[in-house]
Amino acid sequence: MDDNDKLFDVAIVGGGLAGVVALAYARRAGLEAIVLEKQGRVGGLWRDLPAWQDIQISPADWTLGDLPLRGATQPHILANIESWVQHFGLAEGIRLNAPVRRARATGAGWEMETPQGTVRACHLVAATGAHNTPVVPPVARSNSSVREIHSSALVDPAALSGRDVVVVGGGASAFDLLELCLQHEARRIVWVYRGLHWFTPTRKPKHIAGSVRGFARMQASGMTAEEQSAAINADMRSRYEKFGLAEIVPAHDFDVRHDQLIPGRPGMLEHLARIERHRGSVEGIEGRTVTLSNGHRVEADLLLWGTGYSVDLSYFESPGIASIRSLTALAARCGCIFRSLDAANLYFPSVGLDGIGAAPWAYSLLCRSIMSHIAGTAQLDNQVLGHNVNHFDIVDYLAPRDRASYPEHAWRLHYRDIALNTPDEQPYPIP
């Protein structure tokens, strides 16, 4: 039977990490599934990012089981995603060069229109990611000669050498851009931010400082979210004081339900005095002059946007879904972490990625329960949480709802043992 005549159990839009993980668990659940990927190869965002882009956690945290990961930068992460396809024999279930032009809910499930025909499925997993459209804030421009580059498009950081650079943003992308400016000896570095995310001040390399194993052990020891937040907040504030960072302490206490654990950047901390800092935003660009909301004017050659990404769900026929632009707005329209409230049989696994932890681990747990629900062996509710569910908290949340994946008298001890006793350099097993 031609795929266009078949009714699949589940269609998965997007062949990035979430998509290939979802396909692996669909196969394990015995479901007829297909991935629709717009590009000619799998990888999603990681296929398009510059080679210097890396993960915010240790490689051991990213790796699962014996799936290889030989480094922490873009080429290594892309190869790791491809290893999922090879390891689980998923290639024949992935339709490449098949962008979904429209996803429409029907009485029987979903119809996805692609250049290769219409694909029909009972359930739809939207695995197009939380970070798929670079955000560049609107500013007034007049005869601008300032080169503007989003963090996702800075292919050659050597272009920063000897230049006057403005970096915009208060989170992980901006921290990376500041580090690159220092490494490549930008002549002048101006940092503009409206608010600041917490990060862990440390002189250790990012991929050591970014380990989340300590957090996992806090969770497994029985600490509540409030206790975890208080302990991490106290540690962070002590580190900020130790490193003399009083001027860039975030305005709110650290909260595991809403913040991420971002590792500090050693170069940024060591040379913070070299970085000219302004709280505010970019209002306009005229010639080489960048005007800030605080009235300050900066002469610049380059403006680097470390302003993150928005969600793109424009391929949905439903205006209510297609209009969602932020992960926060999407999470508010999902129950049980990832189950859409706006349409039946629709799931957004990337909602569960916005928190503390490792993407492959989170996606594995979430996609396993999605497929268990589709197969009829889980009972997922529509409870909207309003906060992040982190790392091993995903296990605690899903276990009562997915007994097929979490045997009643064994799961708690099994996952507690993984959290407490897995050596830091050893990957977790594939769930």
Give me the helices (H) in 345-403, please: 359-374, 393-398
How far apart, in whole angstroms, are the C-alpha atoms of residue 16 and residue 43?
Answer: 4
Cβ proximity of 191 and 167 under 8 Å = yes
Q: What's residue 301's pLDDT?
A: 98
Q: What's residue 1's pLDDT?
A: 47
How far apart, in whole angstroms, are the C-alpha atoms of residue 225 and residue 355?
Answer: 13
Q: What's residue 2's pLDDT?
A: 59
Backbone φ, ψ for residue 337 (5° rounding): 75, -55
Smallest CA-to-CA distance from 178 within 194, 195, 160, 153 is with 160
How far apart, in whole angstroms, are the C-alpha atoms of residue 8 and residue 91?
Answer: 17
Q: How many helices (H) and strands (E) does the chain have?
A: 14, 22
Sign of CA dihedral 361, 365, 366, 367: positive
Domain boundaries, the chain: 3-132+311-421, 134-306
Smallest CA-to-CA distance from 301 within 96, 159, 429, 199 is with 159
Backbone φ, ψ for residue 124 (5° rounding): -130, 125
Cβ proximity of 114 and 36 under 8 Å = yes
Residue with tokens 């709802």: 401
Q: What's residue 308's pLDDT?
A: 93
Longest dimension (CA), the chain: 68
Q: Given CATH 3.50.50.60, say whether it is the number of domain 3-132+311-421.
A: yes
Tens place of pLDDT per residue across the chain (431 aa): 456 679 999 999 999 999 999 999 999 999 999 999 999 999 999 999 999 999 989 999 999 999 999 999 999 999 999 999 999 999 999 999 999 999 999 988 999 999 999 999 999 999 998 788 999 999 999 999 999 999 999 999 999 999 999 999 999 999 999 999 999 999 999 999 999 999 999 998 888 888 999 999 999 999 999 999 999 999 999 999 999 999 999 999 999 999 999 998 999 999 999 999 999 999 999 999 999 999 999 999 999 999 999 999 999 999 999 999 999 999 999 999 999 999 999 999 999 787 899 999 999 999 999 999 999 999 999 999 999 999 999 999 999 999 999 999 899 999 999 999 999 999 999 99
User: Selecting from 3.50.50.60, 3.40.50.300, 3.30.420.140, 3.40.50.2300, what CATH number does the domain 134-306 have?
Assistant: 3.50.50.60
Domains 3-132+311-421 and 134-306 share a fold: yes
Give me the helices (H) in 157-307, please: 172-183, 206-209, 213-220, 225-242, 266-270
Give this prediction's pTM.
Answer: 0.95
How far apart, in whole angstroms, are the C-alpha atoms of residue 113 and residue 101?
Answer: 6
